[in-house]
Amino acid sequence: MMSEKTLLQTRDLSIQFGGIRAVDGVEFSVHAGEVVGLIGPNGAGKTTLLNLITGVYKPTSGTVIFDGRRIDGRVPHLIARSGIARTFQNIRLFRSLTVMEHVQLALGSATGHLKSVFQLKPTDHARDATVMGSVEDTLTRFGLWDQRTQVASELSYGLQRKLEIVRALMLQPQLLLLDEPTAGMNEDETMEVADLIRLLSDLGLGVLLIEHNMPFVGKTCDRVAVINFGKQITTGSPEEVRRDPRVLEAYLGDDHDYS
């Protein structure tokens, strides 16, 4: 359920690489409990936008405001700890770490290094509380509980994508940024993820979602922002966006069925 609380707000956000404005004056917001879709052709600047929000890049102009405070230009790991977590377009898991170790790492990320030196693993985190219940509950929901001692590189592709989401959740975020979370998934897996995302938004998380799968976007998103050549084309409900001729033009003749 969407609340009035604005989690994320970008103002005239821009970044320039050499002569190219990869992101140009983008303005949108994400509220708690809301799922916002970010769509646009490849190379439109969507991932760059996520990088700006998470501190990987410093904007050349404009601001990013999270939970009432400016975060643009802040160090990525601090932004991650302050409530924004993300997944990646190309899976970036820790190949040699098990599922459980991914969880442990993210859960404990706020602990100081010195303290972590004296914490001998393994400690059982199954009962630890997360937004979705306990760790065990979360892993079970994502179908990863039975695989908890398996090394990430041995997981199936679909489970790897899910583990990325789980890892992000273990940072206890208020805002979740998902970069093409269902890329390469089959129909069933995609629907599972759609349900999980709706569940997360019901629990109060804000979600910003980059996707190319239009039915998926239609099913999960409350609002959609369309980006092309770094500029924001339009923002609105999935229905409105679907009917907007500028959006179709941006995709240059692709006719995507939003239903």
Partner 1 sequence: MSIYQVGLLVQVCINILLGMSVYVALSTRQLNLGAAGFMAVGAYTAALASLAGIPISASLFLGMLATMVVGLLIGLPALRVSGIYLAMATFAFGLVVESIFLVLPFAGQARGLAGIPPVEPIVVFAWTAIALGGVFLLTRSQFWLRVRSIHDDEFAASMSGLNVTTVKISMFGLSGALAGLAGGVYAHWFVYVEPSAFSVEVSIFAALYVIFGGSRSFWGPVVGATILTLLPEYARGLDAWRPAFIGVVLLVMLILRPSGLIGRGTSLRSLLARRVRRSS
Using CB under 8 A as the criterion, which residues of the chain lie in contact with partner 1 when the complex forms? 54, 56, 76-77, 80-81, 85-86, 88, 92-97, 101, 104-106, 108-111, 113, 116-121, 123, 167, 171
Query: Peptide bond before 122: cis, by omega within 30 degrees of 0?
Result: yes
Minimal distance, residue 243 CB to partner 1, in Å: 36
Residue count of the chain, please give it.
259
Closer of 117 and 252 to partner 1 (Cβ)? 117
255/259 Cα distance (integer angstroms): 12
Minimal distance, residue 46 CB to partner 1, in Å: 17
DSSP per-residue codes, 31-76: ETT-EEEEE-STTSSHHHHHHHHTTSS--SEEEEEETTEE-TT--H
Closer of 120 and 252 to partner 1 (Cβ)? 120
**Which whole-number Å values give the CA distances from 223 to 20, 101, 143, 237, in the listed order?**
28, 35, 28, 4
- Residues 86, 50: contact at Cβ < 8 Å? yes
Minimal distance, residue 218 CB to partner 1, in Å: 29
SS3 107: helix
Minimal distance, residue 82 CB to partner 1, in Å: 9
**Which whole-number Å values give the CA distances from 9 to 84, 172, 181, in the listed order?**
13, 20, 22
Closer of 1 and 17 to partner 1 (Cβ)? 17
Minimal distance, residue 135 CB to partner 1, in Å: 15
Closer of 11 and 81 to partner 1 (Cβ)? 81
Closer of 151 and 191 to partner 1 (Cβ)? 151
Closer of 106 and 233 to partner 1 (Cβ)? 106
DSSP state of 230: T
Minimal distance, residue 171 CB to partner 1, in Å: 6
